Structure 1
Amino acid sequence: MMRRSRERTGSCTGFSSRWPIRERMLLRELAITAALLFFASAALAEELPTPASLEPAVRFWTRVYTEVDSHSGLIHDAENLGVVYQTVHFPEDLNYRGRDQRTEQAKREIRAILLELANGKRDGVSGDEERVLAQWPANVSDATLSQAADNVRFQAGLCDRFRAGLVRSGMWRPFVERALAERGVPPQLVALPHVESSYNPKAYSRVGAAGMWQFMRSTGRLFLRIDNVVDERLDPYVSSEAAARLLARNRDLTGTWPLAITAYNHGVGGMQRASRTLGTTDIGEIARRYRSPSFGFASRNFYASFLAASRIDREPTRYFGAITLEAPTQYTEIHLPWYTPASALARALGVELSVLQEHNPALRPAVWTGGKHLPRDYALRLPQNAITRPVDEVLASVPASSRLAEQYRDRFHKVRRGETISKIARSYGVRETDLAAANNLDARSHRRLRVGQVLVLPDRGARARTVEVAVRGVEPRDVDVADVGVATAKPERTASESYRVRRGDTLALIAKRYGTTESDLVRINSLRNRHKLSIGQRLRVPTSEPVEVASAESAVPDIAPEGTAKPEASTAETAATTPAQTASATATAPSPQADTQRAPTPATAPVPVPMPQPTVTSTSAPAVVPPRAPAPAPEPPAAVALATAPPPAPAVPAPTAPAAAEPAAASNEGASRPDPSDYSVHGDRVTVEPDETLGHFADWLEVRAADLRKLNKIRYGKPVVIGQQLKLDFSHVSPDEFEQRRLEYHQSMQDEFFEAFQVTGTEQHQLEAGESLWYLAQRKYRVPVWLLRQYNPDLDFAALTPGAQTPDQS
């Protein structure tokens, strides 16, 4: 039987009309200030409308954020958020399993009542049935109630977390407001971290989103450095600048702020498809009418939840009473001219290691456990009152033996059939939890290791060499690259073994796996064309077990990787091409420009700064180089160009990370990703995307490629074309399983690319007669087709015309 219960609000509001006169006067002053701010931002408010159709949803999320705490929740209708059947309360000591059981029981009771009412019952209803029926209009139809039985949903309360987020927000709010203003983003977007993480920079979601702004790895790597040494998603300052850039870019590509905000959750490509499908940019219409498997509850309600958070953020005292925001920390930045153990710098500073760790959350656990060094050129932050002497004196006191020229090299393991995370950990003598943390694996990911997946081993690789850097009692700017004497010696390689080329392999990736160079592989295998490998081809490779590859800070190989294997399966399938070109569209990786040692950013004497101001640099020519010490990422223009991005190696969550973040919709099915490609199935058809062949589709469907040719009337030897519609056979695999396999293939391919290369620049390109997507990717810029598409999601590459060019961004 459904139990009635009154909502518990005292833990979140605490407002009383019997406050002392002084506090009421303060509230009145705050109300006047809020009113002035409201009128001052009237013009911007027009860009952030609240459609009438979304008002019930905005009220629902306001209730979730201000009235129901995390030990409670609402049973409601998933389509009509104005229909709330019941508030469920949980004992504070009840575990998640117990909560789930009570939640499911309450949902079952509501469903049973709705089905009974859907049979036409209106007379002699029980008290519970009357309360459920009262949520609907008096003339509600039986069909509506029957459908409602399938839409019963539970939403956890968030008011205590929202209130805590309001308090925390004071530490970063001034910086966030400046970052948004610099990019022309409406100031109301300062409320977005409330929706994403409750302003918690340590938050992780169940699907791998991290930090205050909840960047997914795939999206974050466009603007941030994400690897097993540094994960800038966890830095509230750097990630705030990245979020401002992403939001501004979303606005340029979607045309409206409501769509740009929703794209933060659902992706730009997804919102562009929604707008094209319905022929409108009205977010109210899209939220109400658009249907897509990927446009779930979270995406559909993202804009409404943001509007609710923005209202509360503007008038917090109305909902929570008096709130004192935490004050911003005044920091001093220290730029390291070399690599060094964190413990060595902590001793030189005279602070506990935990103090360094607390104020530099982007540095991953390996840095603090000694598995990795503090990165060279990294801007460390410490509170001003924690540093008692000039920084140049601190650096001079670091022992010469701790001033290192290199990072510890990463070691990798490639998953083989039958291996588990525990078995791999035992084989290398490391802890399972450390191995999982080094690869951003949660409990669910443990059970889903795939054959061929590359794992970072959480132990030390090759020892680093020391480097002499003179730190004298002079201006630190006198320290330049000439002071760093680094000689890179190649290890002797004598033994070799045989390697069989697999689908998706490139010479660059094979060289990376075995810690060698392409030139060595070309030499020992007498290859005539380094750009052409065949599936099944045998190569001699230097013996190396386990795989050892330089990390992002390691020295760059003499020969930069270039070339992409062209799939030559036994079925003679060729990678998807553009309509204007029948050759493979799988772009080769570019030949990097000569890489030189970058001068370390000089250390500076303590200078009081209210907030750190990370610099943004840019370069005009497109260049892709193997990963090394990261450089700040320039703004990606929405043109036929590349945008700077550090290479995304596996992100490492802190072992003591807090519970998963509770986003507004308590779901992440719409987590934003930068890839604008549509990998979903529409009926029994799909659109061919770059780097796909009939062989791929056959593998994912567990059918023969010849059968797909026959089904689509494609003659033997003719390749599939990017943008081509294919009819598929789902007799062996479900559409959902097919989509999952297809997405994993593309994600794996893109991850491997960014592990091997770093995009270092952007360039506008105006199309000329005769140019095709294949030409731009394969010949002119020598980058993967999918990379061009990620930074130009608004362009229709199947219909490129001479003279086409998107406007440059500042």
Structure 2
Amino acid sequence: MLIIASVSNGNESDLFPQPAQLASDVDFWVAIFTGYTTTEGVLHDSHNLDIVYERLSLPDNASRRQRQSVSDRRRPHYKEILQTLASGKREGLTKEEQRVLGMWPPNVSEKELLLAANNIRFQAGLSDRFAEGLHRAGLYRDYINEEFKQLGIPIELAALPHVESSYDLDARSNAGASGIWQFTRGTGRRFMQVDHVLDERNDPFLATIAAGKLLSYNHSITGNWPMAITAYNHGLSGVRRAMRLYGDNNLIDILRHYDGRAFGFSSRNFYVAFLAAKEVDQNPDVYFPGLKPAEPIEYSQYRLKKYIPVNQLTTFLGISDSDLARHNPALQRTIWQGSKYLPKGYTLRVPASLIKNSLQTLIDSLSPDIFFNQQLADLFHTVARGDTLSEIADVYETKVSTLVTLNNLTNRHRIRAGQKLRLPAAGPAPISESSMVVRSSPPVTGRNGGAPLTETSITKATDASIGALTNATEKMKVVGDPAGTRALLSDPGDYAVDADHTIEIQALETLGHYSDWLNVRTQRLRDINNMSFRTPVEIGKRITLDFSNVSLESFEELRSNYHRQQQDIFFRTYTITDVRQHVIRKGESVWELSLREYGVPVWLFRQYNPELDMHNVTWGTRLRFPVLTENKQT
């Protein structure tokens, strides 16, 4: 059983505080969720959400570019007015200038108005999507409520998918998040199987369990739900940094003043958008009279004992591929293309109304000849919309350079949807005498490889999620949180460089890593830190760095990529299924407990005990150890 402090019985207002200063922000999102459809939107101030300049109409099914075009035509109008007002002009104002000035407090300063001229943002309406989400939520809410009760977390958190995905199973974000809970690949792998055969992020039931565990984990680190929810979007590292700057429970100052690099409009508004979604979710009759939630589906389920071709199973069951796929969204394209079997250990789900008997009875009656003891080898991958070469290499645990060579690719950034890529198990592709392979230079990576720092996708995923609250034109500020932390959402480690050019030493790091990332000799680092030749770096201590050859941003990017790669490799093999508590007794060592008794690497142990000084642990200290389970072979 997952061991956490039960918080689900507290008063809702205590668990999810809504200070008076946030009332207008919540009202703004309630209006977006219920008062504006996707064919309209508003121009508003990005920091003062109660200031809405104009309501705009959009074409049906408008693309991001079309929305941008509509807002761009009107934005200069308000920018000019605000600049005029910022100049101090108060006499002889036009009616439009008077109207805009009247939206601001009487004591608004010229500096505030000048800043506002550059903070004009467009937000599309979402009421039709939200209504659809309320309907779809009926399929899963009973299940979500039951799972969250078992985990001891508030059932009100079931409103989060309204913000993330509108409860749309097919929701995909530009950042690679997937499913109703919008897990990224890296975070999803902590709690689920995510590979080219099964992507459990897309299964609403399995992803719900994972989301509950992640939210519970976030709460165990932050100590309150506003910050745990914000960390779901922004990541634990940045949230912990904000809490250190402003205080653990200083919600207003964090949301209003924290200036972390990735803490943009989306992160600032994620908690208030959740509060708004919760309000609508709890009062659907007020906002969408007559709306009926979908009825939950009664399923027949069966855990496969061996591998089986999906086409033979659907033929035997008398159901279509589309029906089976709709109710088993974790199954990847490789299965439907026939290059992989349905994997052993997978729990198949079919609506009871589609079959004449239970799945167990039907499948147990199948001829043993159609089952297999082994999975098919990986030979080819068919490129889908949104795929990148590095993601494909990551899924199949190979290198980008290997795929480039095997497929005679002349440009690592140009692959097309529908293209069939040869994988290492298939051997090299034939090369015609007339062709010339132009191999691109290897990507810029962290130590021991890793994902390229930049890469162009063949296409952008459909903007199906309403969790992507950041405006297309908003520029993130380059201060604060380290670059690349979106890939480390569940890692509370501090990878930022402080103003004095010091960092906190993390597990898996050595002077050699810092030397590589900084392009300086290790002796230089020893000299500026007064370290003798044999003195090792100590986890949790601080070290001063030399940035004479690289920028802070470059160092942070390489460092984050290194840790992301190490964690990705680990979570390809293991998932976190539980958490156990341990009270230190006299004579026990944290290092031995972690590595020997619980089998948890030190870096992961630190993520569950981020405030612990590992060099000064006293008996009676309560520790948390994640329970790891080896992934089933697909």
- Shared fold, TM over 0.5: yes
| SS of structure 1 residue aligned to 2:191 | coil
Q: Which residue of 1 aligns with 2:436?
A: none
- Give 1:51-450 correspondences, 5 Å limit: 51-92=19-60, 94-410=62-378, 412=396, 413-416=398-401, 419=404, 423-424=408-409, 433=418
Deviation at 1:772, TM superposition (A): 5.9
Partner amino acid for 1:689? Q
- Please give the secondary structure, in 2, of the residue aligned with 1:222: helix
Structure 1 residue 765: Cα displacement: 4.0
- Aligned-residue offset at 1:345: 0.7
Aligned-pair CA distance for 1:377 = 2.3
- What corresponds to 1:7 in structure 2? none
CA distance in 2, matches of 1:708, 1:360: 53
**One-letter identity of the residue aligned with 2:506:** E
CA distance in 2, matches of 1:255, 1:81: 28
Query: Structure 1 residue 686 and structure 2 residue 490: aligned?
Result: no
CA distance in 1, matches of 2:96, 2:527: 58
Q: d(CA) in 2 for partners of 1:88 and 1:423?
A: 49
Q: CA deviation at 1:248?
A: 2.9
The alpha-carbon deviation at position 504 of structure 1 amounts to: 4.5
Conserved? CA contact 1:166–1:313, under 8 Å: yes
Q: Kindly tell me: are residues 85 and 725 of structure 1, through their superposed partners in 2, closer, same or farther at Cα, counting changes over 3 Å?
A: farther
Q: Structure 1 residue 373: deviation in Å? A: 0.8
- 1:344 Cα deviation from its structure 2 partner: 1.0
Q: Can you list the C-alpha shifts for 1:339-361, whole angstroms capped at 9, x where unaligned?
A: 10111111111111221111100
Q: Which residue of 1 aligns with 2:13?
A: 45
Distance 2:80 2:471 in 1: 25
Structure 2 partner of 1:675: 491
In the other structure, the counterpart of 1:719 is 536
Whether the 8 Å CA contact 2:190–2:571 is kept in 1: the answer is no
Distance 1:421 1:724 in 2: 45
Distance 1:426 1:731, change over 3 A: closer
Question: Quick check: 2:495–2:560 contact (8 Å CA) kept in 1?
Answer: yes
Point out the structure with max Rg over C-alpha.
Answer: 1
User: Aligned in 2, Cα 1:386/1:787: closer, same or farther, shift over 3 Å?
Assistant: same
AA at the equivalent of 1:48: F
1: CA distance between counterparts of 2:623 and 2:25?
A: 36
> 1:460: which partner in 2?
none
In the TM superposition, what is the alpha-carbon distance from 1:81 to its structure 2 partner? 1.5
Shift of residue 144, structure 1, vs aligned partner? 1.4
Q: Give CA deviations for 1:302-349 in whole Å, capped at 9, x if unaligned.
A: 211111111111222322332122221111112222110111111111
Quick check: which one's helix share is greater? Answer: 2
Q: In 2 relative to 1, CA 125–161 (structure 1 residues): closer, same or farther, beyond 3 Å?
A: same
1:294 to partner: Cα distance? 3.4
d(CA) in 1 for partners of 2:218 and 2:616? 22
3-state DSSP of counterpart to 2:550: coil
- Give the 3 Å change call, closer, same or farther, for CA 151–424 of structure 1 in structure 2: same
Counterparts of 1:374 and 1:657, CA distance in 2: 27
**2:508 counterpart letter in structure 1:** D
Distance 1:727 1:426 in 2: 40
Of 449, 452, 469, the match for 1:665? 469
Whether 2:511 is the aligned partner of 1:699: answer no
Mean CA deviation greater in 216-225 or 709-718: 709-718
Could you give the per-residue CA deviations for residues 54-103 of structure 1, whole angstroms, max 9, x where no partner exists? 11110111111112222333222222222222233222265433332333
Shift of residue 808, structure 1, vs aligned partner: 8.9
* Rounded Cα–Cα distance in structure 1 between residues aligned with 2:17 and 2:11: 11
Displacement of 1:451 in angstroms is 4.0
Match of 2:482 in 1: none
SS of the residue 2:261 aligns to: coil
Instruction: Provide the rounded CA distance (Å) in 1 between the counterparts of 2:100 and 2:607.
Output: 47
Question: What is the CA distance between 1:207 and its match in structure 2?
Answer: 0.9
Q: Give 1:744 shift.
A: 1.0
What is the TM-score normalised by the length of structure 1? 0.63
What is the identity, as a one-letter code, of the residue corresponding to 2:516? D
C-alpha displacement at 1:212, in angstroms?
Answer: 0.7
Q: Indicate conservation of the 8 Å contact 2:352/2:358, yes or no.
A: no
* Structure 2 length-normalised TM: 0.79
Per the TM alignment, residue 783 of structure 1 is displaced from its structure 2 partner at its CA by 4.4
Contact 1:678 1:687 survives alignment (8 Å): yes
Per the alignment, do residues 741 and 116 of structure 1 end up closer, same or farther by CA in structure 2, a change over 3 Å counting?
A: farther
Is the 1:305–1:664 contact (alpha carbons within 8 Å) kept by the matching residues of 2? no
1:272-309 CA-partner distances (Å, limit 9, x unpaired)? 43333323414234323433223332222221111111
Q: Is the 8 A contact 1:188 1:310 kept in 2?
A: yes
Code of the aligned partner of 1:803: G
On the 8 A contact 1:167/1:326 being kept in 2, the answer is yes
The code of the aligned residue for 1:196 comes to E
User: In structure 2, how many angstroms separate the alpha carbons of the residues matched to 1:713 and 1:436?
Assistant: 52
Aligned-pair identity in percent equals: 39
Could you say which residue in structure 2 is the equivalent of 1:744? 561
How do 1:610-689 and structure 2 match up within 5 A?
659-663=463-467, 665-666=469-470, 673-683=489-499, 684-689=501-506
User: How far is the alpha carbon of 1:756 from its aligned partner?
Assistant: 4.6
CA separation in 2, counterparts of 1:298 and 1:112? 26
Contact 2:339–2:378 under 8 Å retained in 1:
no
Distance 2:172 2:69 in 1: 24
Which letter maps to 2:400? V
CA contact (8 A) 1:416 1:452 kept: no
- 1:339 and 1:404 in contact (8 A); partners too: yes
Letter of the 1:368 counterpart? W
SS at 2:349's partner residue?
strand
Deviation at 1:660, TM superposition (A): 3.7
Alpha-carbon distance change, 137 to 745 in structure 1, aligned in 2, over 3 angstroms: same
Of residues 704-713 and 331-340 in structure 1, the stretch that sits farther from structure 2 once superposed is 704-713
Whether the 8 Å contact between 1:111 and 1:150 is mirrored in structure 2 is yes
- The Cα offsets for residues 188-245 of structure 1, whole Å up to 9 and x where unpaired, read as 2221110111111221111111111112223222322222211111111121222223
| Secondary structure of 2:44 counterpart | strand
Report how far residue 789 of structure 1 moved.
1.9
Distance 1:797 1:700, change over 3 A: same
How far the C-alpha of 1:362 sits from its partner, in A, is 0.9
CA distances 1:118-171 after superposition (whole Å, capped 9, x unpaired)? 221222233443333222112211111122234332322212211111111111
Instruction: Name the amino acid aligned to 1:702.
Output: N
The answer on whether the counterparts of 1:167 and 1:325 sit within 8 Å (CA) in structure 2 is: yes
Are the aligned partners of 2:608 and 2:624 in contact in 1 as well (CA < 8 Å)? no
Q: Secondary structure at the match of 1:155?
A: strand
Does the aligned pair in 1 maintain the 2:230–2:267 contact within 8 Å?
yes
Farther off after superposition, 109-118 or 667-676: 667-676
Distance 1:43 1:779 in 2: 41
Equivalent residue of 2:205, what SS?
Answer: helix
User: 1:554-585 CA deviation, whole Å, 9 max, x = no partner?
Assistant: xxxxxxxxxxxxxxxxxxxxxxxxxxxxxxxx
Paired residues of 1:269 and 1:793 also in contact (CA < 8 A): no
- Tell me the distance in 1 between the aligned counterparts of 2:512 and 2:359: 59
1:45–1:139 Cα change, 3 Å: closer
